[in-house]
């Protein structure tokens, strides 16, 4: 086993979302992904519906209703995609404004896109983060421990 110093996330990417929509983004590192994830969670907490924010202030975390966690995870997923695309997105094709002109990749159009097309947005989320999720899943589970005896020695 070897550790590769070159990863899929280290090159520009074009993500095909179907329906003639593609998203292009510059490479971003694992630290960039984790930073965006942390910021997304903070933004999600700040933008929860008022009822859920109030509930979080009243109760201990383990006593919150499942709706709180579901809303938090949903908002965080949306924000991580938005943050990464605003930071590293080069552009997209196949997304138009009401007048038929190409939609710019800005905060407002990203919000509208994710609101109107949640299934395509879920695909975008998965594809955008795929290299880093694969990296986390790889881990180091198959690497032998330096202190472990092997059949060879």
b vs e for 83-110, b when ≥16 Cβ sit within 10 Å of the residue's Cβ? bbbeebbeebeebeeeeeeebebeeebb
Task: Round to whole Å and give the CA distance between 7 and 16.
Answer: 19
Task: Round to whole Å and give the CA distance between 81 and 89.
Answer: 10
Nearest to 41 by CA among 87, 66, 73, 70: 73
Q: What is the pLDDT of residues 1-14, one digit of tens each?
A: 666 666 555 689 99
Q: What is the pLDDT of residues 128-142, one digit of tens each?
A: 988 888 877 776 445
Please report the pLDDT score of residue 47 as a whole number.
Answer: 87
Spans of the chain below 70 pLDDT: 1-10, 53-54, 56-64, 66, 68, 139-153
Task: Round to whole Å and give the CA distance between 142 and 125.
Answer: 28
Please report the pLDDT score of residue 24 as a whole number.
Answer: 96
Please report the pLDDT score of residue 63 as a whole number.
Answer: 67
Please report the pLDDT score of residue 94 as a whole number.
Answer: 96
């Amino acid at each position: 086993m070897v550790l590769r110093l070159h990863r899929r996330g280290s090159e520009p990417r074009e993500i095909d979302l179907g329906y003639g929509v593609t998203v292009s983004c510059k490479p971003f590192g694992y630290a960039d992904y984790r930073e965006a994830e942390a910021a997304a969670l903070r933004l999600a907490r700040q933008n929860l519906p008022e009822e859920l924010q109030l509930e979080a202030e009243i109760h201990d975390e383990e006593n919150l209703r499942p709706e709180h966690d579901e809303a938090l995870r949903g908002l965080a997923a949306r924000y991580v995609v938005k943050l990464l695309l605003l930071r590293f997105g080069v552009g997209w094709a196949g997304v138009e404004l009401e007048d038929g002109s190409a939609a710019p990749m800005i905060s407002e159009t990203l919000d509208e896109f994710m609101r109107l097309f949640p299934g395509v947005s879920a695909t975008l989320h998965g594809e955008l983060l795929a290299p880093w999720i694969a990296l986390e899943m790889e881990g180091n589970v198959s690497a032998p421990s330096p202190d472990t005896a092997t059949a060879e020695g």
